[in-house]
Amino acid sequence: MANAERFLAAYARIEKKLGEICKETGYKPFIQNLYRAAPLNKVVSLNQQTLREYGELRNAIVHDRGGNNEIIAEPCDSVTESIERIADLLEQDNRVLQFASAPVKTVTLSTEIVEAYNQMRKMHTSKLPVYEDGFYKGLVTLEEIADWGIAKDPTKHTVNEILLASKDDKVLFLPRNSSIAAVIQGFESAMNHGANLLAVIITEKGSLNEQPLGIITVADLPKILKSFA
């Protein structure tokens, strides 16, 4: 398939997604939906200027002659690959797990603090969800363990003692069919409201009493945002 055909196919996919994001039932110009969708979707927001240029490029590639679209220019490989990548990102509505760390290692209320610390080192993580009898109880962090170790002897003490002594850390639960944009919006919303969202836990239906399928922490955001731009 020629680059022009690939470009136009990707452009059509993007145009369709913009309409869906804007919940548009009728036809609206590409640029109009682009501006409306930017505040609603992180992929669109991060690529808004590029997509505006591709909207102009589309008109340079296609000439409407007698009601028929005639290809009059051929985009280069890098531009073709770029618009296809953006189209792919916009269609990743139900692939949040590909950005999450999995499987998720959990601890219980009776897990000793030293054991939780050793698990963190082994998993190269700074946060562990706490579950008891299949129910989410909280999140223990490396910072809390460090504070505990300075204030008290961490041996023979359990994770439950940290949870009882710590503030209510904010964790967002999302179903596995969520978009990665929902994750980003969750972190941004928490920040805008002065809250501290430590992690997003992915479960089958987004319920606290389901086993975690994946976890995304604030430390994952730079990598996620880089893949979008």
Q: Nearest 5 degrees, angle CA 34-CA 36-CA 38?
A: 65
- Based on the domain organization, do 30 and 137 belong to the same domain? no
The pLDDT score that the predictor gives to residue 154 is 60
- Based on the domain organization, do 46 and 120 belong to the same domain? no
* Cross-strand pairs, 101: 215
For 176, counting Cβ atoms within 10 Å of its Cβ (0-12 exposed, 13-18 middle, 19+ buried), the class is: middle
Structure tokens, 130: 């706490």
Q: What is the 3-state secondary structure (H, E, C) of 46-94?
A: HCHHHHHHHHHHHHHHEEEECCEEEECCCCCHHHHHHHHHHHHHHCCCC
Considering 46, 75, 91, which residue would you say is the last residue of a domain?
Answer: 91
The pLDDT score that the predictor gives to residue 52 is 94
Contact criterion met (CB below 8 Å) for 70 and 63: yes
Counting the structural domains of the chain, the total is 2
CA-CA distance, 72 to 62, in Å (whole number)? 6
- Based on the domain organization, do 140 and 79 belong to the same domain? no
State the CATH number of the domain containing residue 165: 3.10.580.10
Considering 76, 91, 106, which residue would you say is the last residue of a domain?
Answer: 91
pLDDT tens over the chain, length 229 residues: 688 899 999 999 999 999 999 988 888 899 999 999 998 888 888 899 999 999 999 988 887 654 566 787 889 999 999 999 899 888 876 578 888 888 899 999 999 998 999 999 988 888 999 999 989 999 999 888 888 776 676 667 888 988 887 666 689 999 988 888 788 888 888 888 888 889 999 999 999 889 999 999 988 888 887 777 6
Residue 184, classed as helix, strand or coil, is: helix
End-to-end CA distance of the chain: 26
**Which range of residues forms the domain containing residue 69?**
3-91
Q: Tokens 């609206």 appear where?
A: 28
- Based on the domain organization, do 85 and 142 belong to the same domain? no
- Based on the domain organization, do 135 and 224 belong to the same domain? yes
Contact criterion met (CB below 8 Å) for 202 and 178: yes
Which DSSP symbol is given to 174? E
- Based on the domain organization, do 112 and 212 belong to the same domain? yes
Considering 51, 67, 91, which residue would you say is the last residue of a domain?
Answer: 91
The pLDDT score that the predictor gives to residue 9 is 94
Q: Tokens 């700074």 appear where?
A: 126
The pLDDT score that the predictor gives to residue 89 is 84
The pLDDT score that the predictor gives to residue 153 is 66
The one-letter code for the residue type at 45 is S
Phi, psi values for residue 144, rounded to 5°? -65, -40
For 192-216, give one letter per residue: b (16+ CB within 10 A) or e. eeeeebbbbbbbeeeeeebebbbbb
